[in-house]
Amino acid sequence: MGNLDSQIRCFEPLRSDKPIQTLSDHWDNISVLKAHDCPQRLSEERGEQQAQPPVFMSGSWDTTARVWVWDPTESCSGKWKSKFVLRGHDAAVWGVQILEPPTTAAVEEGHADAGQGRYLTSSADMFIRLFHGETLHTVYAGHQDVVRSLACLPPLPTPHKQLEDRHACLPPLYDNEQLFASTSNDGTIRIWSLDPRRSVCQGNGGDALRLLKGHTSLVYDLAAYIQHDAKAPRLVSSGEDGTLRVWNWLSNELLQTVHVPAVSVWSIAVLPESQDLVVGCSDGLVRVYSIRPASASAADSNLEGAALSESEAADQAAKAQEVQHRATIEARQPATEMSGEGEQVQGELFQGKRYDFVLQIDVSDHADPLSLPINRGEDRQKVASDFVALHKLPEGYVERIVEFINLVLGSS
């Protein structure tokens, strides 16, 4: 579990009262954690299995990402250790992906070139980076704002034969090409390739192969369907516009938009067995969406469990009430508007002036949210201070508002 105090706390799955280990190598907010779910991989070149230790990645506002490896020789039961530090970012790291984890041999032998693994990072500096071990290998550029999250896409056997004539203008893909997707505060999703044939020069990953547009605000997260139709591979995304969206990423088509009853949809995942969608929302709730008939979903969820004691039930009710009533700061960026000449105009008018973002600050359960206009590059501390002074709010709100601006728009 990552936290704003720069600590990563490790827990046993069935015991959450006390962490079994606290990792303190980062020195600023933890923005992302990503575990590798495959303990072994088949070495296609050598035709044998190479053992791999458990591994996960972390990204932080300290502008680094770290690769953590489980060391069974540490203490009596083993410990997590920071193996690689991925540097070179000019701003906070928001997204990470483990493409290829390190082998046990590479971990034991130190920083040998072979078997160190490959890792992707995305940053508030608008770039995506590919690392081989700790070595920066490739940079991907194209997003116009903070790059929030990354997801690997399943390869397609013969994608170049599957596009219809109306999609012929899209770049064809190589057979079994290794691809990944990214989301951004610029409101887009982009599909990129790891194939070196796409590189225009050494160190440059090339242009995005697909550009998915439809979200009207920041796009926070995405996930790919592992079980998919090769002619219509799908991914799902979620964002600040309060929606989750389903895409055919091969043809650039938006297939479905689901409006979630929350201001923001922070995260999204595809359940591997049922293919149901799970979203985490700004109202403190987790929601599950299914393509199965309602009766089937209801039957699956009608499972008996251990009854809660009166004290446990009271505790759960108190927690739910706390989530429901606590004062929160929520933000929403308006949709892009059209000018009279038919051109897109970014931002929104507020009191006769156009701003990049107009955030809705909810300071009370008994009053409407207050609008806070802000432009890229503005001094966020001053913006928050002026806002607090204008509305005669407690001085302690300043830091909370600054923290949330950084959380939503990316650290400056």
Count of domains observed in the chain: 2
Compute the distance between CA of residue 161 and CA of residue 158 in angstroms, rounded to an integer: 6
Q: Is the pLDDT of residue 80 over 60?
A: yes
Are 345 and 285 part of one and the same domain?
no
Domain boundary among 252, 279, 299: 299
* pLDDT for the residue numbered 49: 53
Q: Mean of the pLDDT values across residues 232-236?
A: 92
* Residue 387's CATH number: 3.10.20.870
pLDDT at 336 over 50: no
Question: What is the domain-level CATH number for residue 185?
Answer: 2.130.10.10
Residue 207 domain flag: yes
Residue in the structure block whose two tokens are 């939503």: 408
CB neighbours of residue 401 within 10 Å: 22
Residue written as token pair 């493409």? 99
Per-residue pLDDT at 44: 43
**pTM for this entry:** 0.73
Looking at residue 303, its pLDDT comes to: 43
* Non-local CB neighbours of 252 within 8 Å, separated by 6+ positions: 167, 170, 210, 211, 212
Which of 299, 319, 350 is at the close of a domain? 299
Question: Could you tell me if 273 and 199 lie in one domain?
Answer: yes
Residue 60: which H helix or E strand, with range? Answer: strand 55-60
Cβ atoms of residues 120 and 191 within 8 Å: no
Could you tell me which residues come within 8 angstroms of residue 19 by beta carbon, excluding any fewer than 6 positions away?
1, 9, 10, 11
132 and 233 assigned to the same domain = yes
Calpha distance 22→7 (Å, rounded): 7
Q: Which of 47-56, 99-108, 241-250 holds the top average pLDDT?
A: 241-250
| Residue 58 shares a structural domain with residue 150 | yes
Q: Which two tokens stand for residue 118?
A: 């490959």
Say if residue 360 is in the same domain as residue 295: no
Q: Which of 107-116, 216-225, 374-383 is predicted least confidently?
A: 107-116
Place of tokens 């971990």: 107
The answer for 185, left when phi > 0, alpha when psi is -120 to 50, beta otherwise, is alpha
Which residues form the domain of 355? 337-409
The answer to whether residue 323 is domain-embedded is no
Are 384 and 249 members of one domain?
A: no
Please report the pLDDT score of residue 53 as a whole number: 79
- Read off the tokens for 241: 């516009």
Is 22's pLDDT higher than 70? yes
Q: Running DSSP on this structure, what letter comes out for residue 369?
A: P
Together in a domain, 294 and 342: no
Rounded Cα distance between 212 and 151, Å, is 14
350 domain residue, yes or no? yes
Max alpha carbon distance in the chain (Å)? 70
Tell me the CA distances in angstroms from 19 to 1, 10, 11, 73, one per residue in order.
Answer: 9, 5, 5, 19
